[in-house]
Structure formats: structure tokens, C-alpha cells
Amino acid sequence: MSGLTPPIGRFAPTPSGRMHLGNVFAALVAWLSVRSRGGSLVLRMEDLDTQRTSAENAQILREDLLWLGLDWDLETDPQSRRSAVYDRYFEKLADLGLLYPCYCTRSQLHSVNAPHLSDGTYVYPGTCRNLAPAERAAFHRDPAWRVRVPEGLWQLTDLCQGPYSQDLATECGDFVVRRADGVYVYQLAVTVDDGEAGVTEVVRGTDLLSSAPRQMYLQKLFGFAAPTYGHVPLLMSVDGRRLSKRDKDLDLGILRSRCAPEKLIGILAFAAGLIDTPQSISAKELAKEFSWSHLKKENILLDPATFV
Ligand SMILES: [Zn+2]
């Protein structure tokens, strides 16, 4: 184990550009939740998509987190360097007899039905579940690999969203753990990384709540304890769109030139219900009065003009 003091939270940014406000907000709450209880944080770069990510962006992310006053105790290897580790867990699933190759094309998968879960997942109808060896061989191409899911309900009590349950079999279906090009998917990588780092608390945007049961299933198969989850509301612009990397005026590069970290944190904390009056406040000060019970559950509207 890592030797860190629990609770152990994590930052897991994707170094594909500057953080936007939604990333900042999730990182802030992850930090507040464990620091307010004397816990630790692990930083990990989620750079599975090596085309879109870079070491330069990773370094800017570290500097931006520190500028915000959000520090960490340990940085673990970036995902791009851990494929041999993921191989071992993939083999474990194979040994359990739970993997099978899937030859479906994207258009085949998408023609069946609309995305079911909030993260855009399509329910997999099990097309390739019981192909005979000869049928598999006839495809002459590399398959993706799916893990079989059992019937039954997966339940968790989210720190922010409260009780959540999902029937993996009917709401998700057997899911991909390794793509046809050999790249491991987020579900497998994140489960292995959090599990090996001893993470006890996963805080991230509420768009990922529906992926938690898939990770809980893999945790069970890999022998990791399930962490506590806290899925924080998304930040929306006043016209109802989710703030994203496309909102260049709200990325941290621009915001750092416009306001102090305390001002930025104060605006987020007030909008999220963590403080009662709009005021500048440091992350450290905010940790003294942090409580999950104060945090809003619903998406948070933010007017970009507030930051000017
Ligand atoms: Zn298939």
C-alpha cells in the first residue's frame, strides 16, 4: 500500500489541455473532502489517449492545481505507462472465463438503440457472446474484448447524489475492457489505478455516476475494496449548456490572468452552496467548514461575467 493517511482521494485529470471550470470544481471538492478530515490525495494523469495528451499539458495541470492551492501527496505513474499492469488484470478476467471477443462495428452497435446511460453508453445486446470459434475466425480482424456481467442490481450511496442503483445486465450489458487496437478502456484502467493506489474516495462529475457500477463489478473481480463515491454537479452556462473545454474564456489559462485563486474558489464555493455569501476564500480556509451536506446536488449555473 501507499503508506498514505486515509481517507485517500485522488485527482485524475486528462492532460489534453487547460483545465476548465468543471474540472477545477471536481478537483476542489475532491481535495476539500479528504483534507477536511486530515486525509491524503493521489495525482494521476489519465493519458490513455496519447494522441490528445502531452507531458507539457500534464506539467501545466500540476502548476494550475498548485496555483489553486490544491496539493497532493503522491503522483502515481500515468496511464500511458501502465499497459503491462493492465495486461495482468486483463489476464485475470480471462482466467475467470469472463472475457469474449466482440467484432461489432460502431455503426452496428449504435443502430440497435439510443445511448442509455448518462455517459453515452449503449446497452450491448450480447451479439458476440456465444459465437462459435469458426464464426470468430471468419471476421479476420482484431476484436474488442468484453467482460460478461451478471444479473442483479448494483447499489451505492453517493456522498452527493444519495442512493443510486443500476442493473448492469439490462442497463449496460457486457462492456468493453480492451479496444480492438489494444488500448485499455477507462473502466479497467481507472479501477486498477484507484485500487492499486489504495484510493478510498472517488470524487468526480455526476456524468460519471452511471459508470460506477461497472467499476464496482471490476473491483469485486480484482479483489479491491470499493471506494466511497461522490459525484458532484456539473457546471452549466446560463444558456443551459454544460461548460466544457470548448468554453475557452473559462479555461484556467484565461482565468488565471483575470482573477486570484481565492476569488475563483469563492465564486465556485458560493455557487455550489459551500459558503453563504459571495467572498474570496482560499481552499485551506474553505476546508475548515466543508460538509457534503451543504453541496448542491443539481447542476450549477455560472455566468462567465462573474470572473471578469
Ligand atoms: Zn459484438
Are 209 and 26 a contacting pair, CB within 8 Å?
no
Q: If you measure from the C-alpha of residue 30 to the centroid of ligand 1, how many angstroms do you get, rounded to a whole number?
A: 37
Collect the ranges in the chain with pLDDT lower than 50.
none
Q: If you measure from the C-alpha of residue 128 to the centroid of ligand 1, how many angstroms do you get, rounded to a whole number?
A: 4
Q: If you measure from the C-alpha of residue 95 to the centroid of ligand 1, how many angstroms do you get, rounded to a whole number?
A: 20
**What is the rounded average pLDDT for all residues in the chain?**
93
Alpha helices, DSSP H, located in 132-175: 133-137, 168-171
pLDDT at residue 15, as a whole number: 96
Q: If you measure from the C-alpha of residue 53 to the centroid of ligand 1, how many angstroms do you get, rounded to a whole number?
A: 29
pLDDT at residue 114, as a whole number: 61
Q: If you measure from the C-alpha of residue 274 to the centroid of ligand 1, how many angstroms do you get, rounded to a whole number?
A: 46
Which residue's C-alpha cell is 470499493?
226
Q: If you measure from the C-alpha of residue 210 to the centroid of ligand 1, how many angstroms do you get, rounded to a whole number?
A: 21
Q: If you measure from the C-alpha of residue 220 to the centroid of ligand 1, how many angstroms do you get, rounded to a whole number?
A: 24
User: What is the DSSP secondary structure assignment for residue 281, as one 8-state letter?
Assistant: -
Measure the CA angle with vertex 15, ends 5 and 22; round to 5°. Answer: 75
Distance from chain centroid for Cα 302: 22
Strand partners, 184: 178
Please, how many CA atoms are within 13 Å of residue 179, restricted to the half-sphere of its CB? 12
| Burial class of 280 by CB neighbour count within 10 A (0 to 12, 13 to 18, 19+) | middle
As a whole number of angstroms, the distance between CA 207 and CA 140 comes to: 36
Rounded to two decimals, the pTM is: 0.94
